[in-house]
Structure 1
């Protein structure tokens, strides 16, 4: 009797999409290529659709005056989505040179005059922007999950937001905590909206009102 061949085991882990698409706005249905860079994991289309529905509701659909910061830009899916919907300015920052070159290429292809692309360390850039007094209506935080970037970057966002500003945070764990279990880096933040898709937890946050 012929022996069955052993099942092949994938050695590279789960395969992520090689491209994502813009959901709404002037560049709706435009595709964005995704580099196979270390830690690059674009926000899925259906998650972005949900998130931008949340944001539209909370902002009453008003994008024209929005100042947006995309700190760990990666594929650019979040930043270009905001730009497509009419944000006044979107500052996209990433530390990977190849990623930055691709973001510049996409910006040129879309003729996205409201997008600025910079290469830089996200945490250092956030500190510098806060010191310069730059403030944003919306900050996207979608860092690599395993390197504890969220706990370092989120506290800095308190000095980067305008009044009633929002932070979108994506992570491998929920950011909802009970009582005294709240970590110090989350203490200043209130979870406005939260959901899960597969292994991805995504949240909209705002600063807690001070007594």
Structure 2
């Protein structure tokens, strides 16, 4: 987990990379900027998540709601997702997503530098089969996003991966989200849901 930095001069430096762990881009490393609140999903967690997602990724249309470094979205692309839409508020992080998209030669994804809540508040332009929700912690974003997604963005039987702080036990999700998988590792809780 990257620590938030107060010195803005440090917020745009490259701070390492993410690694794609399977699929057509297996082993590729993509640069990641050092930005406040950016927490690229670790390889260990990503391996667990994509074992869960194995039946659902290929051919899917994915929405990465708080893309950050793009760890989940690029992994889905590598594993033959049909298309990935990345939403990211931080301007430098969004630029890095675009640069990494070009590095991979990925023509089947798009990056929006936008506020996710505002983006999802507009009428749904398409429906997604697979949604990643990994927002900044302790800002109450999970409930807001899940309610907005329910207004037409989700395909029938869509799969939603959710990552939040482990202490967030009172999060209220839509009634038709059925829990498939659940795991807590340290201070982070991971869940997989499917629309009933």
| TM-score, normalised with respect to structure 1 | 0.80
Query: In the alignment, which residue of structure 1 is the partner of 2:29?
Result: 31
C-alpha contact 1:40 1:74 (8 A) present in aligned 2: yes
Flag structure 2 segments of 5+ consecutive residues without an equivalent: 6-14
Query: In the alignment, which residue of structure 2 is the partner of 1:107?
Result: 101
State whether structure 2 residue 124 is matched by structure 1 residue 136: no
> For residues 177 and 105 of structure 2, what CA distance do their matches in structure 1 show?
36
C-alpha contact 1:70 1:78 (8 A) present in aligned 2: yes
Bigger helix share? 1
Query: In the alignment, which residue of structure 1 is the partner of 2:144?
Result: 152
Query: In the alignment, which residue of structure 2 is the partner of 1:120?
Result: 114
Structure 1 counterpart of 2:18, from 12, 17, 20? 20
C-alpha contact 2:63 2:130 (8 A) present in aligned 1: yes
* Alignment root-mean-square deviation, CA: 2.2
Q: How many residues align?
A: 184
Q: Which has the larger radius of gyration?
A: 1
Deviation of the 1:174 alpha carbon: 6.1
State whether structure 2 residue 55 is matched by structure 1 residue 63: no
Deviation of the 1:200 alpha carbon: 1.5
3-state SS of paired residue (1:205): strand
> For residues 197 and 72 of structure 1, what CA distance do their matches in structure 2 show?
20
> For residues 111 and 11 of structure 1, what CA distance do their matches in structure 2 show?
31
Deviation of the 1:133 alpha carbon: 4.2
Deviation of the 1:23 alpha carbon: 1.1
1:178-197 alignment, distance < 5 Å:
184-197=172-185
Structure 1 counterpart of 2:194, from 172, 182, 206? 206
Flag structure 1 segments of 5+ consecutive residues without an equivalent: 1-9
Bigger strand share? 2
Deviation of the 1:11 alpha carbon: 11
Query: In the alignment, which residue of structure 2 is the partner of 1:164?
Result: 157
Deviation of the 1:34 alpha carbon: 2.3
> For residues 29 and 182 of structure 2, what CA distance do their matches in structure 1 show?
26
3-state SS of paired residue (1:134): coil
